[in-house]
A and B are shown apart, each in its own frame.
Chain A
Amino acid sequence: MNETTQKKRMLDTRMVPAPSQGIIPERDLYSTPVLEARHLGIEFGGLKAVEDFNLIIGKTEIAGLIGPNGAGKTTVFNLLTKVYQPTMGTVLLNGKDTAGMNTVQANKLGIARTFQNIRLFDNMTVEDNVRIGLHNQVKYGMFTGILRLPGYWKQEKQQHEKALELLSIFDMQDLAGVRAGSLPYGAQRRLEIVRALATHPSLLLLDEPAAGMNPHETEELMRNIIKIRDKFQIAIMLIEHDMNLVMGICEGICVLNYGRIIAKGTADEIQANPVVIEAYLGKKKEG
């Protein structure tokens, strides 16, 4: 079975009109890929924002999605998390078709994200933000909560411990009682990652995690992203403009321009690809 699935995967990747060898790390070849996007696309009133997007992400891969401004990177994230319903193509999450699902169902299936323009629950504390992430792993209803039945105290305590444990990834456990909106910018970005992790995803989408961070913070973030992957054994896909970060930690990189994939490959392949260089530097720009 392993060989046939591998062959099938090779076939799938060949459908992509761009170099795509080595897009899944070898260790992930024999497990179901966490994400398979096939001919994914969306049209906004005739404008094709994303078109023919094909991508496979391995079970524990760190993938990068790069491209010039307005290339459609965040649109891809919105398609994968079902904020937009794709007008073309399919998305398989852990082998399951996500057609017709909404954001909530996609999250329950194992996809979590952060946002380019930070979207924290500003008026709630840092810990409560993480607890919202843990929401679907805690199973007590409204009446147990109001009547303070034993289940409430027990699960509330578990939730508290879990939240602190997750916050400790970024050494933020001391900030648990602080209002999220009053955190400094970098800490807000980190809190968003923790909150997304709390939903127990198998694929974590990070939208510009290093935006607004200084080089020192970015380096720490790189270490932490790898740490998160190793600890939780999940796949991470990130949009980022900081090339040091992308080239440093991404095993597979996908370059998007005008809503189409123009190149795929490892960091070295991407850096040497003339099409990518052209897209970024604007040589011979058309239309």
Chain B
Amino acid sequence: MKLKKNAVNNIICYGLVIVVFIICQAMISNGSMTRSLKGQMVPICVYIVMAVSLNLVVGISGELSLGHAGFMSIGAFSSIIGAAWMRSALGIENETLRLILSMIVGGVFAGVFGVLIGIPVLRLRGDYLAIVTLAFGEIIRNVLNCFYFSLEGNRLHVAFNNPNLPGTILLNGPNGAKDVAKISTFPAGFVLILFTLFVVLNLINSRSGRAIMATRDNRIAAEAMGINVTKYKMMAFVTAAVLAGMAGALYGLNFSTVAASKFKFDTSILVLVFVVLGGIGNIWGSIVAAALLTVLPELLRAFSDYRMLVYAIVLILVMLVTNNPMIRGLVNGLFRRKGAAAQTQGGGADE
């Protein structure tokens, strides 16, 4: 009976993504999608992966992390450098293969930093943890602003605060990376979303995932049941960092110029907004919220200068509507089964 409920939730997640992907692909192929919207497809995928992975930290392990964009930037820059190096040193010309390898590079680097940052950060609790993750996100961005990478033949040069490097500059300090080979594609983003869902959903419904949720619900009881709280907090944090790094790789390789200023505190908050709006702990909610809120500014183009004002109003309205007990009751009545399934998954995780 319980398995069934989880299964329903997983089917909603996978089904949602697959159906929307097919519709979008159909729209792209028959030309009914606008150019600007087409350009939004990869960022949408990126933000969905970011939101789902942040939900693993915020919703499932219950720690408020405000530095998620930091891992995204590490993934983006390490993959840009990795992709360029792979092309010249290893001679990998196949773009798909290069993209996959770059994503792995981005994920690994972000994961390493996830471990390094997680060790001090996860000793803290509550508000303190949030503040320190925020600080680490800013540290990452500022340090990246000072890094210079260049490629001379097969050799990679690194310098700190010194722009005079031989060869072609890959990463130019605060100016960021220029002339990046745009190898990200919408199908690749789709595959990354499926991969993320596979990892996160399977993790949640396993022994480790239950332990992570137990540490969220009651730390003291979890310890008394013999669960190593730090280990499982770390597991959630690092998994989320790896996924964010892969999303960053997809993002970085989608634009010809990428600067560290793109991964500011705003980006972390934006992703957190997706998570909160979609329902903390609710994975498919994060997907919907990330997709809609990324498209929304584009759809509001008609309001020109007042675009962000309308965006803010829409946000407030959505929050009001989703928190209105009458409307909630109506929706629950319509989709009683769906509502019940969402609740057991962790829809009630909001503290």
Hey, which bits of chain A sit against chain B, CB under 8 A? 81, 83, 102-104, 107-108, 112-113, 115, 119-125, 127-128, 131-133, 135-136, 138, 140-142, 144-148, 152, 155-156, 159, 176-177, 179, 181, 195-196, 199
Question: Which of B2, B218, B226, B346 is close to A107, meaning CB atoms less than 8 Å apart?
Answer: B226
| B218 and A121 within 8 A (CB) | yes
Hey, which bits of chain B sit against chain A, CB under 8 A? 1-2, 5, 198-199, 202-203, 205-211, 213-214, 216-218, 220-229, 235, 281, 343-344, 346, 348-349
In the assembled complex, 9 residue pairs joining A and B whose CB atoms fall closer than 8 Å, in A order, are A104-B227, A120-B221, A121-B214, A127-B2, A136-B226, A146-B206, A152-B206, A195-B225, A199-B225
Q: Which residues of A have CB within 8 Å of B218?
A: 119-122
| A119 and B221 within 8 A (CB) | yes
| A123 and B217 within 8 A (CB) | yes
Q: Which residues of A have CB within 8 Å of B203?
A: 142, 145-146
* Bound: A127/B218 CA distance, A: 16
Q: Which residues of B have CB within 8 Å of A119?
A: 218, 220-221, 224
| B1 and A176 within 8 A (CB) | yes
With A145-B203, A145-B208, A145-B209 as contacts: A103 and B224 at CB distance below 8 Å: yes
| A132 and B211 within 8 A (CB) | yes
Q: Which residues of B have CB within 8 Å of A199?
A: 225-226
Question: Which of B209, B223, B343 is close to A104, meaning CB atoms less than 8 Å apart?
Answer: B223
| A176 and B2 within 8 A (CB) | yes
With A103-B224, A104-B223, A136-B226 as contacts: A124 and B206 at CB distance below 8 Å: no
| A141 and B1 within 8 A (CB) | no
| B221 and A121 within 8 A (CB) | yes
* Shortest Cβ gap from A209 to chain B (Å): 15
Q: Which 8 A-B residue pairings sit nearest by Cβ, starting from the closest?
A: A145-B206, A107-B226, A121-B217, A119-B221, A103-B223, A146-B202, A142-B208, A132-B214
Which residue of the partner chain A has the closest CB to B2? Answer: A177
Question: Which of A83, A112, A144, A177 is close to B1, meaning CB atoms less than 8 Å apart?
Answer: A177
With A132-B211, A135-B226, A146-B199 as contacts: A179 and B217 at CB distance below 8 Å: no
Q: Which residues of B have CB within 8 Å of A145?
A: 202-203, 205-209
Which residue of the partner chain A has the closest CB to B217? Answer: A121
Q: Which residues of A have CB within 8 Å of B205?
A: 145
* Bound: A56/B226 CA distance, A: 24
* Shortest Cβ gap from A126 to chain B (Å): 9
* Bound: A181/B207 CA distance, A: 20
| B206 and A123 within 8 A (CB) | no
* 13 more CB-based (< 8 A) A-B contacts, given A103-B224, A135-B225: A103-B223, A104-B223, A124-B213, A131-B210, A132-B210, A132-B227, A135-B210, A142-B203, A145-B205, A146-B203, A148-B202, A156-B207, A176-B1
| A123 and B202 within 8 A (CB) | no
Q: Which residues of A have CB within 8 Å of B5?
A: 177
Which residue of the partner chain B has the closest CB to A121? Answer: B217
| B343 and A179 within 8 A (CB) | yes
* Bound: A128/B6 CA distance, A: 12
| A142 and B217 within 8 A (CB) | no
Which residue of the partner chain B has the closest CB to A155? Answer: B207
Q: Which residues of A have CB within 8 Å of B198?
A: 146
Q: Which residues of A have CB within 8 Å of B223?
A: 83, 102-104, 107
Q: Which residues of B have CB within 8 Å of A196?
A: 224-225
Question: Which of B210, B226, B348 is close to A179, meaning CB atoms less than 8 Å apart?
Answer: B348
Q: Which of B5, B209, B210, B348 has the most CB of A within 10 A?
A: B210
* Bound: A120/B220 CA distance, A: 10
* Bound: A128/B221 CA distance, A: 14
Which residue of the partner chain A has the closest CB to B226? Answer: A107
| A140 and B207 within 8 A (CB) | yes
* Bound: A108/B210 CA distance, A: 18
Q: Which residues of A have CB within 8 Å of B206?
A: 140, 142, 144-146, 152, 156
* Bound: A132/B216 CA distance, A: 13
Which residue of the partner chain B has the closest CB to A205? Answer: B224
Q: Which residues of A have CB within 8 Å of B224?
A: 81, 83, 103, 107, 112-113, 115, 119, 196
* Shortest Cβ gap from A175 to chain B (Å): 11
Which residue of the partner chain B has the closest CB to A125? Answer: B2
Q: Which residues of A have CB within 8 Å of B214?
A: 121, 124, 132
| B217 and A122 within 8 A (CB) | yes
Which residue of the partner chain A has the closest CB to B198? Answer: A146
Q: Which residues of B have CB within 8 Å of A102?
A: 223
* Shortest Cβ gap from A219 to chain B (Å): 27
* Shortest Cβ gap from B90 to chain A (Å): 27
Q: Which residues of B have CB within 8 Å of A136?
A: 226
With A83-B220, A146-B199 as contacts: A123 and B225 at CB distance below 8 Å: no
Q: Which residues of A have CB within 8 Å of B228?
A: 104
* Shortest Cβ gap from A203 to chain B (Å): 13
* Shortest Cβ gap from A152 to chain B (Å): 7
Question: Which of B221, B222, B235, B281 is close to A142, meaning CB atoms less than 8 Å apart?
Answer: B235
* Shortest Cβ gap from A79 to chain B (Å): 13
Q: Which residues of A have CB within 8 Å of B227?
A: 104, 132, 135
* Shortest Cβ gap from A43 to chain B (Å): 22
Q: Which residues of B have CB within 8 Å of A121?
A: 213-214, 217-218, 221-222
Q: Which residues of A have CB within 8 Å of B220?
A: 83, 115, 119
Q: Which of B1, B210, B214, B226 has the most CB of A within 10 A?
A: B226
* Bound: A176/B5 CA distance, A: 13
| A123 and B346 within 8 A (CB) | yes
* Shortest Cβ gap from A30 to chain B (Å): 29
* Shortest Cβ gap from B111 to chain A (Å): 13
Q: Which residues of B have CB within 8 Å of A135?
A: 207, 210-211, 225-227
* Bound: A148/B344 CA distance, A: 21
* Bound: A196/B221 CA distance, A: 10
* Bound: A147/B227 CA distance, A: 22
